[in-house]
Amino acid sequence: LLDLPHVPWALALLMLGAFTKSAQFPFHFWLPGAMAAPTPASAYLHSATMVKAGVYLLARLSPAFGASPLWFWPLFVIGGITMVLGAVSAIRYRDMKAVLAYTTISALGTMVLLLAFSGGAGGAEIGTAALALAATILAHALYKAPLFLSAGIVDHAMGTRDLRRLAGLARTLPVVALTVVL
C-alpha cells in the first residue's frame, strides 16, 4: 500500500489535518486562544472532545501505517517537539487557564509521541505504548475537566485567574483546593 505514489501525499495531508486539530507544533497557537470561551465550555472542549479528535484519527490509522518510517518519524518528531514546547511554555504564564491550555498541548504532544510507538506489527513495546496511550487519553479527560472547572470557580470567587494574586487560596476555598490536589 505504501508503495503507491499517492499514498505518502494522502498520509501527509491526513497528518496535517490531525496535527492541526490536536494542536501539534506548529499549529498549537489556536488552543490557548480558545481560552476566551466560558470555563464550562473550555473544560469540555479541551479535556474530552475537540482536541483529541486529531489524536483519535491518528490512532485509527496507526494499525495500517504504524510499521512505516513515513508514520513513525513525523509523529515522533512533531509529538516530541509539541510535548516539550507545551511544557516549557506553561512555565512562563501566570493565567490559570493559559497554564492549563499549554499543559494540554504538552499532553497532546505526549499522546502523538506514544502513537509513534504504538502502531505496526509485533513486539512488547508496541503493546505497552498503545496501553500507555489509552491510559493517557482517559487520564487527561478525567483530570483536565475538573481543573478547568476549578479555574472557573476560583476566577468567579476571587475575581482573578492571575496565579501571583492567589496566595492562600487553600484557606479561602478549601474544597476547591482539595479537588485540585486530588
Cα three-residue angle 159-175-146, rounded to 5 degrees = 75
This model's pTM is above 0.75: yes
Provide the β-strand partners of residue 162: 95
Cα distances (Å, whole numbers) of residue 15 to 63, 92, 108: 15, 29, 14
pLDDT digits (tens, 9 = 90+) for 60-80: 998 888 888 899 999 999 999
Would you state the cell numbers that stand for residue 48, as one nine-digit string? 474530552
> Using a CB cutoff of 8 Å and minimum separation of 24, what contacts does 113-116 make?
113/75, 113/76, 113/79, 113/80, 113/83, 114/79, 115/55, 115/58, 115/59, 115/62, 115/75, 115/79, 116/71, 116/72, 116/73, 116/75, 116/76, 116/79
pLDDT digits (tens, 9 = 90+) for 110-162: 999 999 998 765 555 558 888 999 999 999 988 888 888 888 888 888 888 88
